[in-house]
Amino acid sequence: MSKDSIVTVTKDTLTLATEKEQLLEAVKPENVKDGIAEQVNAFSHLIENTIARLLNAIPSIVAAILALIIGLFVIRTLLKIINKRFEKRNVDMSLRGFLMSIIKFVLYALLILSVAGNLGFQTTAILGALSGLVLAAGLALQGSLSNFAGGVLILLFRPFEVGDYIENPSNTEGTVDKIDLLYTTLTTAQGIKVFSPNGTLANSVIRNYSKITNRRFEYIVGIGYDDNIKTAQNIILDVLKNDPRVVQDPAPDVFVNELAASSVNLTIRAWASKDDYWAARNSLQQEIKIALDKAGINIPFPQQEMRIISDKPENK
């Protein structure tokens, strides 16, 4: 064995002996007892400090709870007062809902900052953190910002208002119930609630059926080739002129639209006020059919003539 190996073995032996002595010293009953006592004292100090902090924080917690309760009551009262003022001044329903959403957001944000201040938090630090959070959220939620901007554009240019019946290219249609910060609420003819993003509405073609005075409806009715076209036209025009729901200026019109395979197709066009449109459109078609039936005008159904040609020679 070399000299270096002997030195290494000697060092390891001394190290093991030292560690053994330290371990035996640590497990002595008096040392174990002292260690447990130190841990118990440290835990006791921690509990005492926690209880002391809680007791010191009780006034702040009570003040924060009172501020929260009073703040909620004040906010609800202010919102009721503002809403009544809007109603008294006949503020537009669309603008009213949008402004109420913004005011509500601001008031609740101020309340949260007030409660945080009572609890001992630094409001400046909170505002700084909120600024960074708003910036990060703005980058992450660009669609929501687009919807907010769309809501502002809708309120500025008024393509529609609360109570209007609208339709957009995405086949979303209904009566406008409310215009919020991000979404517009519609109620369809089937009674279904539809929430449409403001950004989409502001950047698409909107059909507003409530901004018009009159609306045109159109039918196509086929008559037989043996029937008199002028007679059919006069019968249909009499039905339209005798209905008070049909507007006479512009006058109703009936003309030949197509010489189809089985019928002569007549196009019927007439106008009705927007309030009477659906009732007139749904009932006049039936009245026209009844009037044509009484006059003996035939409304043919599609038919085809078939000829069978036989390849067999005729028997003479």
| pLDDT over threshold 90, residue 36 | no
Confidence of residue 195 (pLDDT cuts 50, 70, 90): confident
Contact call for residues 108 and 74 (beta carbons, < 8 A): no
Per-residue pLDDT, averaged over 149-177, amounts to: 83
Structure tokens at 33: 């007892």
Helix count and strand count (H, E) for the chain? 8, 9
CATH architecture for the domain at 214-294: 2-Layer Sandwich (3.30)
User: What are the angstrom distances between the C-alpha of 126 and each of 119, 123, 262?
Assistant: 12, 5, 78
- pLDDT at position 269 is 94
Q: Which amino acid would we find at residue 315?
A: N
Per-residue pLDDT, averaged over 281-309, amounts to: 83
Per-residue pLDDT, averaged over 144-171, amounts to: 81
- pLDDT at position 237 is 93
For residue 190, the number of C-alpha atoms closer than 13 Å in the C-beta half-sphere is 5
CATH architecture for the domain at 145-208: Roll (2.30)
Confidence of residue 139 (pLDDT cuts 50, 70, 90): very low
Q: Which amino acid would we find at residue 236?
A: I
Higher pLDDT, 26 or 81: 81
Residues contacting 101, CB < 8 A, separation 6+: 180, 181
Report d(CA 26, CA 59) in Å as an integer.
47
- pLDDT at position 96 is 73
Sign of CA dihedral 95, 187, 149, 155: negative
- pLDDT at position 291 is 92
Report d(CA 112, CA 136) in Å as an integer.
20
The region, left, alpha or beta by phi > 0 then psi within -120 to 50, assigned to residue 76 is alpha
Confidence of residue 184 (pLDDT cuts 50, 70, 90): confident
Per-residue pLDDT, averaged over 213-232, amounts to: 90
Contact call for residues 239 and 291 (beta carbons, < 8 A): yes
Specify the range with the lowest mean pLDDT, choosing from 81-85, 96-100, 109-113, 226-230.
96-100
Structure tokens at 65: 């709870």
| pLDDT over threshold 90, residue 6 | no
| pLDDT over threshold 80, residue 246 | yes
Per-residue pLDDT, averaged over 62-77, amounts to: 82
Domain ranges of the chain: 145-208, 214-294
Structure tokens at 14: 């001394």
Confidence of residue 140 (pLDDT cuts 50, 70, 90): very low
Confidence of residue 191 (pLDDT cuts 50, 70, 90): confident
Mean pLDDT of all residues in the chain?
Answer: 77
